[in-house]
Amino acid sequence: MTGPTGGFPGGLPDLSSLLAGAKKAREDVERARAALREKRVEGRAGGGMVVATCDGTGELVSVRFEPGLLAKEEASLVEDLVVAAVRDARRRAAELERTSMAGVMGAMTGGLPIPPGLADLLR
């Protein structure tokens, strides 16, 4: 039987507290994402002949080439190295983002496992 508390142990949750908690969680996520945009990760290919740098969200920031690489190698090899370096940098950025956001998401879910896609919904 449901009484005036709606059947929730300890009564109904306070709507203003829920909204304040949601607002704080959103602000925490925004702060964490801003911090990720300031971090840098590097991906390397060809033994460091090509270095791609991404921010912590996976946005490509720069690509550097070993001096003389463009003059001595075929364009197709350099293109492949750039793709490999960018993939490596983006993989590292995704890992950084996953670790950084785990604390924020854990606070939102009360320490329960993070539901798949929750982080994507808050972007």
CATH of the domain at 89: 3.30.1310.10
Q: What is the residue range of 60's domain?
A: 37-109
Alpha helix segments (H runs only) across 1-123: 15-38, 69-72, 75-108, 118-121
Q: How confident is the model at residue 2 (pLDDT cuts 50, 70, 90)?
A: very low
Residue 40 contacts by C-beta under 8 Å, 6 or more apart in sequence? 53, 54, 55, 56, 61
**How far from 15 is each of 3, 8, 38, 122, CA to CA, in Å?**
18, 14, 35, 20
Domain annotation covers residue 88: yes
Domain annotation covers residue 116: no
Instruction: Tell me the HSE value of 19 on the side-chain side, using a 13 A CA sphere.
Output: 3
pLDDT value of residue 79: 93
Domain annotation covers residue 73: yes
Domain annotation covers residue 119: no
Q: How confident is the model at residue 52 (pLDDT cuts 50, 70, 90)?
A: very high
| pLDDT tens profile 16-46 | 887 888 888 888 889 999 999 999 999 999 9
Three-class DSSP category at 51:
strand
Domain annotation covers residue 97: yes
Residue 68 contacts by C-beta under 8 Å, 6 or more apart in sequence? none
Number of domains the chain contains: 1
- 39, 23 contact by CB (below 8 A): no
Q: How confident is the model at residue 101 (pLDDT cuts 50, 70, 90)?
A: confident
pTM of this structure: 0.67
